[in-house]
Amino acid sequence: MKSLINKINKILISKFGVPNRNAAEMDPVDVLIATILSQNTTDKNSYKAYKNLKANFKNWNEVASAKQKTIEQNIRIGGLAKQKAKSIKIILNELLKQKGKVTLDYLKKLPNDEVVSELVKFNGVGVKTASCVLLFSLNRDVCPVDTHVHRTANRIGLVKTKSPEKTFELLNKNLPAGAAHSFHTNLIKLGRDICKSGRPLCTICPLFKICTYAEKNMHSISKVTKNDFLLLDNV
């Protein structure tokens, strides 16, 4: 599977480019909260919700002591505000209680599996969120698996799994060194723009030749809309 991942990674890089990576290491608490806010919403709305929190509170300590209703109002645009506000408040207060301040810096010394075990103890944090913290703030070579990565990896034929957790386990066991960030980011792009959930645009897909799903789901070129091509021109 490793050589196939390598091949797919190269094809996607030649199509979409090497994804930007923030030179500065992102704070793990920032990534954790941003990832919780990104659940079940668009990037645009979760980013606005995150920005509201950053703009309206001095720091995470202040969010921890804010009323849940106030947090909810700030993140409403990202949906599931009540649930997310509750998780965020519990996590921040738990960190305050355990560490004396809101910090996840202690994770930097731990191996990947221990980081995941530590994070999934928190209400509202699953393996996907924990692996985003690993990849985006601790700079570890781990590929988080969201709905797009799970769907595309199965369609392409990299895995045959029923759950994102199993996909995560198999992909990460076979991930070539240094591939995680581009592979994760570009598979999401593929899933959003081409290998869409209801209507995969196989005829314009860069993985058409190696994808095992292509023949079963051939969509004639006539079904590819002008917008699909415009969208591809802009990637």
Q: Could you say which of 101, 128, 162, 189 is catalytic?
A: 128
| Least Cβ distance, residue 125 to ligand SF4 (angstroms) | 30
Q: Which is nearer to ligand SF4, 154 or 174 (CB)?
A: 154
* In the complex, minimum distance from the CB of residue 156 to ligand SF4, in angstroms, rounded to a whole number: 5
Buried b (16+ CB within 10 A) or exposed e, 69-88: eebbebbbbbbbbeebbbbb
> Is 128 in the active site?
yes
Looking at residue 18, what DSSP letter applies? P
Residues in contact with ligand SF4 by the rule CB under 6 A: 152, 155-156, 194-195, 200-202, 205, 207-208, 211, 213-214, 217
Selection from 20, 48, 43, 47 nearest residue 181 by Cα: 20
Identify which of residues 5 and 207 has a Cβ nearer to ligand SF4 in the complex: 207
CA dist list (Å): 136 to 1, 91, 144, 152, 222: 24, 19, 10, 21, 39
For residue 11, the minimal CB distance to ligand SF4 (Å) is: 10
Q: Is the CB of 92 or the CB of 202 nearer to ligand SF4?
A: 202
Distance from C-alpha of 85 to C-alpha of 68, rounded to nearest angstrom: 6
Q: Which residues are catalytic?
A: 128
